[in-house]
Structure 1
Amino acid sequence: MNIAVIFAGGSGNRMNTKSRPKQFLELNGKPILIYTIELFDNHPDIDGIIVVCLESWIPFLEKMIRKFEINKVVRVVPGGESGQDSIYKGLCAVEEYAAGDNTIVLIHDGVRPLITEEVITANIRKVKEVGSCITCVPAIETVIMKNKENPMDIPKRSDTMIARAPQSFYLKDILTAHRKSRKDGITDFIDSCSMMRHYGYELGIVQGPMENIKITTPTDFFVFRAMVEVHENQQIFGF
């Protein structure tokens, strides 16, 4: 089975919103999170969706799931004390729902509503090929790396990519890594691919679209709004 784990547990402090977390901000009457969920709900190869949500917002999310006729959400679970802990809770929910050696999980940010069906398909295919998939985009600006040995190392831009989402794995592998990190007391992995790399797993890469941004700031929201308008115009005018 192919299960999407959509993380929507953040409070969105950088968005400076007062009334609601960023994942529930609305565009054309629809929350950002629902835009994201719909991408997986409409994909023919996705068998189920687990959403990890701020506990106090679960009733609202369940109402939105019904309103927008989302069919594949099989469970909504409350988030944990950190992003890493929240993802682990989501993975445990997948284990309860669809445990199996061939179960693939696609871990995705609830505030990345601009991925495509092709990216989801490529993630599933790449996991079957090499055991994992990290969606990336090319670095379009210079990246500066700081470390003790070399205070300012500047890699070639052509050798550098930026990790985004989905980040996809066999369920058994990512759960093993999470449980090792909990046993080792490591609670600050920035994302799933960092954890998997730390524990020696091979990482496959697919290139996603540049517009696959994470909506974190007001500027990001304006970009999202513009992209939705572009897609709507394409449907109406055919360009």
Structure 2
Amino acid sequence: MVLAGGNGTRVGADCPKQFVKVLGKPVLVYTIEIFQNHPEVDVVEVVCHKDWIDSLQEMIRKYHLTKVKWVVAGGENFQKSVLNGLERLKKEINLEDYVLIHYGASPFTSDKIVTDVIRVTKEKGSAVTSTPCYQLMGSNDIDGTSRSWVDRDQYIQIASPYGFQFSYLCDIYERAEQKGLIETTDPHTTSLMYALGDTVYQAYGDQTNIKITTKEDLKLFEGYTLLKQK
């Protein structure tokens, strides 16, 4: 499930960041190609901004994204978009199947990361790509100050893809809706897991696997793409 329903205004572009072109190709295409080319991924569902579905369909044809089988309109926020995607998948796949959730603006992800998320998901029932915190960390206090040192070894950085056995993913959102967490929890599936008291299992991650959020991230991805081509 590739989530491409957001506006991504912080990149300062005139279109959602997942549709910004890098070296002539939309970011979203780079992202979908990660799964298009991965041998363990069978089918791709894209949850797309409703105003950009026609553009997405054109991209699917142009770039031969043959694994994209379902396109679903996004919701008003992250959690609603995931729920829209889940409702479609409930009609199409089995509860024993495995589902990865990935951000449309996360094109840095590698085959190694996807493979390990799938491995851990099959072993544990769920997994997230996670990276140790390598930078020094401190508290973020008032008026631009930091007064406390934070032990970076006590924390991890979490990124997508997130992997789930489908039955467990449905269960997360059912319990979250029952407890009224959908509207009050940060916009990530892992945030719901923490709020529900569930265990988050770690799979391989690295510092390259970032989500494009700013103009600088777009420049980083352009350089990263040129390096891979070279």
The answer as to 2:7 corresponding to 1:11 is: yes
Partner of 2:76: 81
Q: 125, 130, 134: which is aligned to 1:136?
A: 130
Aligned-residue identity in percent: 33
Q: 107, 110, 119: which is aligned to 1:113?
A: 107
Partner of 2:41: 46
Maintained 8 Å contact 2:108/2:209 = yes
Name the SS of the counterpart of 1:128 in structure 2.
helix
Maintained 8 Å contact 1:11/1:21 = yes
**Following TM superposition, by how much is the alpha carbon of 1:154 offset from its aligned partner in structure 2, in angstroms?**
4.4
Partner of 1:24: 19
Partner of 1:237: none
**Following TM superposition, by how much is the alpha carbon of 1:206 offset from its aligned partner in structure 2, in angstroms?**
1.4
Name the SS of the counterpart of 2:76 in structure 1.
coil
Maintained 8 Å contact 2:23/2:222 = no
Q: 92, 104, 109: which is aligned to 2:98?
A: 104
Name the SS of the counterpart of 2:81 in structure 1.
helix
**Following TM superposition, by how much is the alpha carbon of 1:78 offset from its aligned partner in structure 2, in angstroms?**
0.5
The answer as to 2:72 corresponding to 1:72 is: no
TM (norm. structure 2) is 0.91
Distance 2:201 2:147 in 1: 28
**Following TM superposition, by how much is the alpha carbon of 1:153 offset from its aligned partner in structure 2, in angstroms?**
6.2
Maintained 8 Å contact 1:10/1:21 = yes
What does 1:90-239 correspond to in 2, within 5 Å?
90-100=85-95, 102-141=96-135, 142-144=137-139, 154-186=149-181, 187-190=183-186, 191-233=188-230
**Following TM superposition, by how much is the alpha carbon of 1:8 offset from its aligned partner in structure 2, in angstroms?**
0.6
Partner of 1:236: none
TM (norm. structure 1) is 0.88
Distance 2:109 2:56 in 1: 21
Task: Give structure 2 stretches of 5+ with no counterpart.
Answer: none
Which AA in structure 1 matches 2:185? F
Maintained 8 Å contact 2:121/2:127 = yes
Task: Give structure 1 stretches of 5+ with no counterpart.
Answer: 234-239
Name the SS of the counterpart of 1:11 in structure 2.
coil
Distance 1:182 1:112 in 2: 27
Maintained 8 Å contact 1:8/1:51 = yes
Which AA in structure 1 matches 2:108? L
